[in-house]
């Protein structure tokens, strides 16, 4: 596999050109516990459009050209607002598919290949790991208590 960029950590990226507006969606194929950086580009008035919306968080965020936000795009519904006529908004997004992590966990095999080849013990171990996957993923996120202790004034 070749990296998209030297020193990059994401397996994939996409460029959106033109007026780049998205409807509310989640990127279900991405790693659930993974961060997805979205960069806004173009020439538009960020006070009148191009805001990013994080629906479950009930946030509408001003998102001027050149801004980057990291979101867990597979678990938070997100979209952006239209821009004004004659303006241009592009975006650059990086992400990693959850299937790449399953491939590695399966010993470089698809789920189907793993299930055909694995011993009963290997299957049991995989099932056990699947039972804590959600909690393991959440442990990658910083809690409010952790942030408070990190940034509390001494």
Pair 49, 118 in one domain: no
7 pLDDT tier (thresholds 50, 70, 90): confident
Among all chains, which residue has been given the structure tokens 């790693």? Answer: 31
The beta strands (E) that lie in the chain are given as 12-16, 36-43, 52-54, 59-61, 68-71, 78-80, 88-95
For residue 46, the enclosing domain spans: 12-95
Q: Is residue 116 part of a domain?
A: yes
Percent of the chain with pLDDT over 90: 66
Pair 120, 78 in one domain: no
State how many domains the chain has.
2
pTM for this structure? 0.82
The string of pLDDT tens digits covering residues 48-89 is: 999 999 999 999 999 999 999 999 999 999 999 999 999 999
More confident residue, 62 or 18: 62
What is the pLDDT of the chain when averaged over all its residues? 91
Among all chains, which residue has been given the structure tokens 């940034």? Answer: 151
Q: Which residues contact 85 (CB under 8 A, 6 or more apart)?
A: none
Distance of CA 101 to the CA centre of its chain: 14
CATH number of the structural domain spanning residue 69: 2.60.120.620
């Amino acid at each position: 596999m070749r990296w998209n960029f030297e020193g990059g950590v994401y397996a994939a990226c996409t460029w959106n050109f033109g007026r780049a507006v998205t409807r509310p969606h989640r990127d279900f194929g991405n790693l659930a516990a993974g961060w997805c950086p979205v960069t806004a580009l173009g020439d538009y008035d960020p006070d009148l459009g191009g805001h990013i919306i994080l629906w479950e968080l009930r946030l509408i965020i001003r998102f001027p050209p050149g801004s980057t936000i990291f979101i867990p795009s597979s678990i938070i519904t997100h979209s952006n607002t239209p821009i004004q006529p004659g303006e241009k908004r592009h975006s650059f997004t990086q992400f990693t598919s959850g299937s790449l992590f399953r491939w590695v966990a399966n010993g470089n095999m698809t789920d189907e290949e793993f299930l055909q080849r694995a011993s009963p013990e290997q299957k049991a171990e995989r099932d056990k790991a699947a039972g804590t996957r959600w909690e393991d993923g959440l442990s990658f996120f910083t809690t409010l208590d952790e942030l408070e202790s990190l940034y509390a004034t001494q």
